[in-house]
Amino acid sequence: MSETWVYDFEHADKGNKALLGGKGANLANMTQLGLPVPPGFTITTEACNAYNAAGTLLETIWQQVCHAVNQLEKKTGKSFAGSGDPLLVSVRSGAKFSMPGMMDTILNLGLNDNAVEVLTQKTGNPRFARDSYRRLIQTFADVAMGVDIRLFENELIAIRGERQDYEISAEELDTLIERYKGIYQKATGSSFPQDGFEQLRLSVIAVFKSWNNPRARTYRRENAIPDDIGTACNVQAMVFGNMGMTSGTGVCFSRNPATGAKGVFGEFLINAQGEDVVAGIRTPEHIDQLAQEMPEVAKQLFDTIERLEHHFRDMQDIEFTVEEGKLYMLQTRSGKRTGAAAVNIAVDMVEEGLVGVEQALMMVEPQHINQLLHPQIDMSQAIPEPLDSSGLPASPGAAVGRIVIDSHEAVKICEADPKAKLILVREETTPDDIDGMIACQGIVTARGGMTSHAAVVARGMGKPCIASAPSLVIDEHKGSITIGGKQFNSGDWISMDGGRGTVYEGELKLKQAEFTGKVGKLLGWADAARRLKVRANADNPRDSRQAVEFGAEGIGLTRTEHMFFEPERLPHVRAMILSDTEEERRKHLDSIFEFQKEDFKGIFREMTGKPVTIRLLDPPLHEFLPHDEQEINDLINEVFGGVTDEKRSEVKARIEAMRESNPMLGFRGCRLGIIYPEINEMQVRAIIAAAIEARREGSESIPEIMVPLIGAKSELAKVEPVLRRVASETMESYGEKIDYLFGTMIEVPRAAVTADEIAELAEFFSFGTNDLTQMGMGVSRDDAQRFLGHYVNMKIYRDDPFQSLDQEGIGKLVEMACKLGRQARPKIKLGVCGEHGGDPDSIDFFHRAGLDYVSCSPFRVPIARLAAAQAEIRSRGASAAAVSSTA
């Protein structure tokens, strides 16, 4: 163990977060860059461990702290415990990892009855000096000594009454300080320490003790942070922006965080502290104004900002204070930005030579691209306060329209005026609302989660949606809604941002998505950088076209069951399901054949030259059957040409008999085609026929036929010969050949562990990570709401495993299947078509696992293109690091 327990910011090893904590290391970093940082020092994490081991602050540590304070006095020319210009300091905890539960910051340490008078003289502001003092007493008592903070708040309220804090006079503050001292005395048995060193000693001990408070322990356990790493303690000289007209404070960005435009962007207040900005009492001035008021300081600030941006090679978010004409940098960090800004900054910085293409690609978060895919609220206008900002951001993009609370009404309005702009506002949506959802620009619901009907359907449609807006109440009777406490009628204009979950009153201006210009350039770089191909999941020509526009390189999943639900086909499908013989089933399947062929042909046309993976029928057949009385009657009429009591009870009994207790694990997927091979035969015939016919029209068709829910090679061995035979027969009937691939989904855990056997027959694997997650974790997505949220909150699951792949568990199955599959068939094509194919973290995993492509919904294709590039760049970095560490 080192004998040095305390390091000042100038000499600390800025890379050693384990010793200095994150905050201490950052302060050292800024200081050593030559920035004007208020001086200070860090008491190390080892000192914390020593304290907690010994149960007392070692004398050697305390001596080093005192010495460091003396140095601080010398640097600042102020006096900590003496009678001159008072040195005030802040005390902050700071562990290696950012960690809630640790001790709060204490400001203005060093103030006492004497120093408060000196401060009053220096600032000419008795109210400020006294308010700082009473806050010190209160905070010190609370966080360092554990006195109940409510005791202080009660006194404050008693004096303040209905007024604001800043309306309390200096005299009243004197009274309050006396009462606070009384409370302190009563609660701790001692008077509030007038000696700054005593204040400091108790504060440092409190920081070290807080390492072991219950909240911190729980947090560490849940986040697997070791208990023995300790926290550091940072002591820093206070600076004041409210020392008069040559002082001030401000916040700025090195570029515009909303648009990315070049030039410093921010605001400041003369003669003010940071908390004044937060309190919103005075309106801050634009940062450009600083050049007028303090030209020297402004020049120094702007130069510093430019240096920082060059140093960190990223847009910076900076806090500064000017004390009597002297500039202090309090903080600098990468600035948060909108999607548009992120893209513009990244591309600009490449052009400015500040960063390379790889670095630029890493500067844009995939979620940023998501914002750009949909119309956005134009940030150049004045944005009002949202009515409600706590709804779930269920589907991104902004929309503006008139309120409509009834889906049929929405359809009617659109029929009358196809250009009508509507926002559908519902308690929640059901399949009956589909037409209404199509008719409107966006959807807001009062209930339902991220996977509710509204959310899922809206994301599929690429429409903005907010689910569970907490303040929304709908009065269907009156045709009005209340949101954010304000009432609106149907027909009133509102605006919404589905990416943020915010609803606004009135008609805001929107900005359309575009993939040209800088976004186009960035995505072009991504395409050049990535190894993973990106495909889309699309079930029809419209979605396929959309996918190609967004840059998809193929279709990774065409579900054929949606086609079965179309109104002109459903009666045939139902009749087929209720058939008693193979012959009858074949007859009804023949009626569907032409439809399916045309479906596939439309998709092949859009996807010319790109592979199209078509999955054979997957869902349990009972999903196609009705369950309510009227629909059953209709079905019997359609299928048997008339309803009798006998027929009705027979059909009802059959529908009942097809119900399953766990349909997820029931009679579905390849099991259908094994028991009823005629279904597969019809579908394969339609695929091959469509591919040939589309080619005759000039499209290059590349079909890939995919069998769902395979768990064993023996299943594939049943299905394959049938498919191969039908494909050959179909080609013969056309007198031409077409190449196709035959493969399988890997979505059953057993398939993953026997993938070597399956790969003997399958030419490709497509991971169905949704079902693999359901079966592998034993979690039904439809039923998980009762515990999944708790699991994520309790950190039992890192994320919702249906949003982001469970890499440590389900990921093992994926890796195993890739390895085994490649063992048996080295050139096997590997992809993923579960929803994880559009999730950036999961994409990074799929890249590392060695997949050939990911497939996701068309609207996520651009996100996936960027995420795939980042995965590649990250793995290059990792392998470069591995090379250099072995060198």
Among 58, 66, 461, 665, binds its own copies (CB under 8 A): 665
* Residue 778 near its own copies by CB under 8 A: yes
- Between CA 1 and CA 50 the distance in angstroms is 10
Among 795, 878, 879, 881, binds its own copies (CB under 8 A): 795
* Residue 884 near its own copies by CB under 8 A: no
Q: Give the list of residues 6+ apart from residue 461 with CB closer than 8 angstroms, or none.
A: 437, 438
Q: Which is nearer to its own copies, 419 or 786 (CB)?
A: 786
- Please choose, out of 231-239, 528-536, 722-730, 768-776, the segment that lies near its own copies by the rule CB under 8 A: 768-776
Size of the site for its own copies (CB under 8 A): 52
Among 790, 879, 880, 881, binds its own copies (CB under 8 A): 790
Q: Compute the least distance from the CB of residue 636 to its own copies, in Å.
A: 23
Q: Which is nearer to its own copies, 156 or 674 (CB)?
A: 674
* Residue 690 near its own copies by CB under 8 A: no
Among 162, 568, 583, 808, binds its own copies (CB under 8 A): 808
Whether 453 is a known active-site residue: answer yes
DSSP assignment string, 359-423: HHHHHS-HHHHHHHHS-EE-TTSPPPPPSB--SEEEE-SEEEEEEE--HHHHHHHHHH-TT--EE
- Please choose, out of 32-40, 139-147, 294-302, 802-810, the segment that lies near its own copies by the rule CB under 8 A: 802-810
For residue 743, the cross-strand partners are 706
- C-alpha separations of 133 from 79, 105, 120, 498, 628 in Å: 17, 15, 11, 45, 73
Spell out, one character per residue from 41 to 70, where the chain touches its own copies: x when CB under 8 A holds, - when not.
------------------------------
Q: Which two tokens stand for residue 549?
A: 């526009």
Q: Which is nearer to its own copies, 611 or 749 (CB)?
A: 749
Mapped to the 3 state alphabet, what secondary structure does 20-89 carry?
HHHHHHHHHHHHHCCCCCCCEEEECHHHHHHHHHHCCCCHHHHHHHHHHHHHHHHHHCCECCCCCCECCE
Q: Which is nearer to its own copies, 442 or 749 (CB)?
A: 749
Q: Which is nearer to its own copies, 530 or 615 (CB)?
A: 615
> What amino acid is encoded at 869 in this protein?
A
Q: Compute the least distance from the CB of residue 826 to its own copies, in Å.
A: 22
Among 142, 497, 771, 800, binds its own copies (CB under 8 A): 771
Among 122, 447, 750, 848, binds its own copies (CB under 8 A): 750
Q: How many CB atoms lie within 10 A of CB 528?
A: 10
Buried/exposed code over 216-228 (b: 16+ C-beta within 10 A; e: otherwise): beebbeeeeeeee
* Residue 712 near its own copies by CB under 8 A: yes
Q: Compute the least distance from the CB of residue 836 to its own copies, in Å.
A: 15
Instruction: Give the angle 740-743-746 at the CA atoms, nearest 5°.
Output: 155
Centroid of chain to Cα 452: 18
* Residue 709 near its own copies by CB under 8 A: yes
* Region label for 325, one of left (φ > 0), alpha (ψ between -120 and 50) or beta (otherwise): left
* Residue 718 near its own copies by CB under 8 A: yes
Q: Compute the least distance from the CB of residue 662 to its own copies, in Å.
A: 4
Centroid of chain to Cα 485: 28
Among 272, 810, 817, 830, binds its own copies (CB under 8 A): 810
Q: Which two tokens stand for residue 361?
A: 């690609």
- Please choose, out of 35-43, 501-509, 625-633, 783-791, the segment that lies near its own copies by the rule CB under 8 A: 783-791
Q: How many CB atoms lie within 10 A of CB 654?
A: 13
Q: Which two tokens stand for residue 328?
A: 């202090």
Of the candidates 62, 104, 294, the residue with the CA atom closest to the CA atom of residue 210: 104
- Show contacts with its own copies in window 193-222 (CB under 8 A): 221
CA atoms within 13 A on the CB side of 377: 28
Question: Could you give phi then psi for residue 474, rounded to 5 degrees?
Answer: -110, 130
Q: Which is nearer to its own copies, 327 or 746 (CB)?
A: 746
Among 806, 839, 844, 872, binds its own copies (CB under 8 A): 806
- Please choose, out of 9-17, 29-37, 563-571, 704-712, the segment that lies near its own copies by the rule CB under 8 A: 704-712
- Please choose, out of 176-184, 496-504, 686-694, 778-786, the segment that lies near its own copies by the rule CB under 8 A: 778-786
Q: By three-state DSSP, how is residue 92 classified?
A: strand
- Please choose, out of 135-143, 611-619, 632-640, 667-675, the segment that lies near its own copies by the rule CB under 8 A: 667-675
* Residue 493 near its own copies by CB under 8 A: no
* Residue 797 near its own copies by CB under 8 A: yes
Q: Compute the least distance from the CB of residue 573 to its own copies, in Å.
A: 18
Catalytic residue among 233, 252, 440, 453: 453
Q: Compute the least distance from the CB of residue 674 to its own copies, in Å.
A: 7
Question: Could you give phi then psi for residue 775, rounded to 5 degrees?
Answer: -75, -40
Q: Which is nearer to its own copies, 717 or 881 (CB)?
A: 717
Spell out, one character per residue from 446 to 485, where the chain touches its own copies: x when CB under 8 A holds, - when not.
----------------------------------------
Q: How many CB atoms lie within 10 A of CB 865?
A: 28
- Please choose, out of 137-145, 371-379, 744-752, 833-841, the segment that lies near its own copies by the rule CB under 8 A: 744-752
Q: Which is nearer to its own copies, 449 or 663 (CB)?
A: 663
Contact between 322 and 248 (Cβ < 8 Å): yes
Q: Which two tokens stand for residue 766?
A: 């497509």
- Between CA 436 and CA 447 the distance in angstroms is 17
Contact between 535 and 831 (Cβ < 8 Å): yes
* Residue 662 near its own copies by CB under 8 A: yes
Q: Which two tokens stand for residue 674?
A: 């094994």
Q: Which is nearer to its own copies, 166 or 787 (CB)?
A: 787
- Please choose, out of 180-188, 240-248, 488-496, 791-799, the segment that lies near its own copies by the rule CB under 8 A: 791-799
- Between CA 561 and CA 138 the distance in angstroms is 66
* Residue 779 near its own copies by CB under 8 A: yes
Q: Which two tokens stand for residue 566?
A: 């179309």
- Between CA 305 and CA 387 the distance in angstroms is 36
Whether 833 is a known active-site residue: answer yes
Q: Which is nearer to its own copies, 564 or 797 (CB)?
A: 797
- Please choose, out of 302-310, 364-372, 388-396, 772-780, the segment that lies near its own copies by the rule CB under 8 A: 772-780
- Show contacts with its own copies in window 342-381 (CB under 8 A): none
* Residue 279 near its own copies by CB under 8 A: no
DSSP category for residue 240: -
Q: How many CB atoms lie within 10 A of CB 360?
A: 23
Q: Compute the least distance from the CB of residue 767 to its own copies, in Å.
A: 14
* Residue 489 near its own copies by CB under 8 A: no
Among 291, 664, 722, 731, binds its own copies (CB under 8 A): 664
* Residue 225 near its own copies by CB under 8 A: no
Q: Which two tokens stand for residue 68?
A: 């460091």
Among 571, 666, 677, 850, binds its own copies (CB under 8 A): 666
Catalytic residue among 233, 465, 833, 856: 833
CA atoms within 13 A on the CB side of 874: 16
Buried/exposed code over 490-500 (b: 16+ C-beta within 10 A; e: otherwise): beebbbbbbbb
Residues taking part in catalysis: 453, 833
Site residues, its own copies (CB under 8 A): 221, 660-667, 669, 671, 674-675, 709, 711-712, 714-715, 717-718, 747-750, 753-754, 771, 774-780, 782-784, 786-787, 790-791, 794-797, 806, 808-810, 812-813, 816
